[in-house]
Amino acid sequence: MSVVVSAENLTKKYGDLVAVNGINFSVKQGECFGLLGPNGAGKTTTIKMIQCVSPKTSGKLEVLGMDVDLYSKEIKKFLGVVPQENNLDPDFTVYENLMIYSRYFSISKNKAKERVERLLKFMQLEEKRDVMIERLSGGMKRRLIIARALLNEPKILILDEPTVGLDPQTRHLIWDKIKSLKKEGVTIILTTHYMEEAAKLCDRLVIMDYGRILVEGKPDNLVKERIGNSILEVEANSEILLCLQRMRLEFEVVGDMIHIFTDRPYDLMFTLMNQCRLNRTAVRSATLEDVFLRLTGRVLRE
Amino acid sequence: MSSYLKLPKVGNWAWKVWMRNWDVFIKTYKVNFILPFLEPILYLIALGFGLGGFVGSVEGIPYAAFLAPGLISISVMNSAFFECTYGSYVRMYYQKIFDAMIATPLNLDEIIAGEIFWGATKSLINATFMLIVVIAFGLISFPISLIIIPFSFIAGFLFSALAICFTAISPNINALNYPVFLLITPMLLFSGTFFPLSTLPLPIRYASFATLPLVHVVEISRAIALGRWSDLLFLNLIWIIIVSFLLFVISINLMKRRLIV
């Protein structure tokens, strides 16, 4: 599989603030690559450098084998971008938005018409074609932005938090569409705060914090390596804490609960029941969210 | 300082930005076509004929005929300046149009150039409407005065580039009131629009000539309107072209400083 984005020692500084601090990663053709991290971790900055709209401070960044500093126009021809913030053109209808945007890519009018029809259908917006942007719901706007990002039949689709604030129906629709695009061979770069979304869609992801990459890997593997299969949650009290320390188990106190990381949760539960006094307990599978919180901490960032 | 004089890279893609604004203009044509007709009629009646009755003739012509090219010049200035300050600011900051464009092969140089060309086009459109009114009132020589139409594009370009400089440095949309009140309003009054500059003391005349773009636009417009040619017009045109070019380069670099982070 060939590499479509490669970053070496990529750095971005805003004055004294180092937003991206010498990161290395590569995105392979046809995969869905996730960038995860708390707010301010450097995800959007990284994406903006890939998009050629924010110049890098140092390091190397190539998209489709081209240097971002030298070939921004050529690179941008092959990118589809779904930005974090909606920026549809409020002076136009749904249909006009797509037609006018296709002009920015120098797509001929006939070709554009054909693609717009197809994309309206693909994103289930046909009935809204003559509606002005301000009359669309949040979900429709998001679907339209995705349709717009596909006008130039991009080789790389960049999705910056594509499903923020959407209802579950729309979110599932968007996930389905992303999956079908992936099947067609489109490379996808995704940032998200929804771990479920990342786990569902990403073949590979990195978790970033303070401008650095903390880990990289397949979602399942990351969970297995960092947490294990399961988590046993027990209500915290001093007796159990002593008990766990004595047994030298790996655990984390979260509010009034203790999370114990284990591959054999039920065996452990019986052992604990025999040895300490247990109140509320629950067994659940470990998720990407556990990995994320473990790596980036539970403290609020802003 | 030299970073503000870096030459922009503007290809023919800038016309795509121009086309977008043109499409919006056509979509809302009813509003766009009435006002440019109405404004000059009101001014001509109130100032040209009302006030003109007291003034009599200026420089040997009726006051209304003296005033007409001044009004056209003011319209050229206002259309471009307001389009590329408030209009561009709304597109840039509130509508996030530039953000959407920059994700396509368009670069920022082309986006800003497109905005400036559009501002100049607005001048041309409004000047054309005013010209029709003024011709209908019989205040201007015809058909030579039609040269004002292409000239209004050149003059509009100057004011658009100037406007973009202010748009680029304004921290918020209200800050745009400063150039309007401190620059545009005085310029509107002291550029030989409502009265000949020759009535002012010499130092002020020189200062106006050196610093106020509208002075040059009025000089040329009036010469075209009245068919009075002079060699000095060449100086006015050179001034406009040089300053336009400088402002064009500076405005794009200022916008880059603001938007490319």
Residue A104, min C-alpha distance to chain B (Å): 6
Q: Do B102 and A96 touch (CB under 8 A)?
A: no
Q: What is the pLDDT of residue A255?
A: 84
Closest chain B residue to the Cα of A52, Cα to Cα: B103
Give the one of B16, B100, B103 whose C-beta lies nearest to A89's C-beta. Answer: B100
Asked if A100 is an interface residue toward chain B (Cβ–Cβ < 8 A), one would say yes
Q: What is the pLDDT of residue A241?
A: 85
Identify all chain A residues contacting B24, using CB atoms and an 8 Å cutoff.
91-92
Q: Do A89 and B20 touch (CB under 8 A)?
A: yes
Give the one of B24, B107, B261 whose C-beta lies nearest to A91's C-beta. Answer: B24
pLDDT surpasses 90 at B213? yes
Q: Do B96 and A91 touch (CB under 8 A)?
A: no
Q: What is the pTM of this model?
A: 0.92
**H or E element, residue A258:** strand A257-262
Per DSSP, A165 falls in state T
Q: Is B167 helix (H, G, I), strand (E, B) or coil?
A: helix
Q: What is the pLDDT of residue A34?
A: 97
What pLDDT digit, counting tens, does each position of B70-110 carry?
999 999 999 999 999 999 999 999 999 999 999 999 999 99
Cβ neighbors of A120 (< 8 A, separation 6 or more) are A94, A95, A98, A126, A129, A147
* Boundaries of every domain in chain B: 61-260
Low-confidence ranges of chain A (pLDDT < 50): none
Q: What is the pLDDT of residue A185?
A: 94
Q: What is the pLDDT of residue B82?
A: 96
Cβ neighbors of B81 (< 8 A, separation 6 or more) are B119, B159, B160, B162, B163, B180, B184
Q: What is the pLDDT of residue A301?
A: 66
Contact status, residue A33 vs residue A202, Cβ threshold 8 Å: yes
How many Cα atoms sit within 13 Å of A18 on the Cβ side? 12
Contact status, residue A267 vs residue A301, Cβ threshold 8 Å: no
Question: How many Å apart are CA A112 and CA A135, to the nearest integer?
Answer: 24
Identify all chain A residues contacting B16, using CB atoms and an 8 Å cutoff.
103-104, 106
The dihedral region occupied by B20, where left means phi > 0, alpha psi between -120 and 50, and beta the remainder, is: alpha
Contact status, residue A251 vs residue A302, Cβ threshold 8 Å: no
Contact status, residue B73 vs residue B154, Cβ threshold 8 Å: no
Q: What is the pLDDT of residue A302?
A: 60
In this prediction, residues B179-207 reach a mean pLDDT of 92
Identify all chain A residues contacting B99, using CB atoms and an 8 Å cutoff.
83, 85, 87
Question: How many Å apart are CA B242 and CA B154, to the nearest integer?
Answer: 12
Question: How many Å apart are CA A89 and CA B97, to the nearest integer?
Answer: 6
Here the tokens at position A86 are: 């909606």
Scanning chain A, the segments in alpha helix (DSSP H) are 43-50, 72-77, 94-104, 109-122, 138-149, 168-183, 195-201, 219-226, 238-246, 265-275, 288-296
Q: What is the pLDDT of residue B29?
A: 83
Identify all chain B residues contacting A96, using CB atoms and an 8 Å cutoff.
23
Asked if A95 is an interface residue toward chain B (Cβ–Cβ < 8 A), one would say no
Q: Do B261 and A54 touch (CB under 8 A)?
A: yes
Give the one of A51, A81, A90 whose C-beta lies nearest to B95's C-beta. Answer: A90
Q: What is the pLDDT of residue A273?
A: 83
Closest chain A residue to the Cα of B11, Cα to Cα: A73
Question: How many Å apart are CA B99 and CA A38, to the nearest integer?
Answer: 24
Q: What is the pLDDT of residue B1?
A: 55
How many Cα atoms sit within 13 Å of A155 on the Cβ side? 16
Q: What is the pLDDT of residue A264?
A: 87
| Strand A3-14 versus strand A17-28 pairing type | antiparallel
Asked if A165 is an interface residue toward chain B (Cβ–Cβ < 8 A), one would say no
- Average confidence score pLDDT of chain B: 93
Q: What is the pLDDT of residue B2?
A: 65
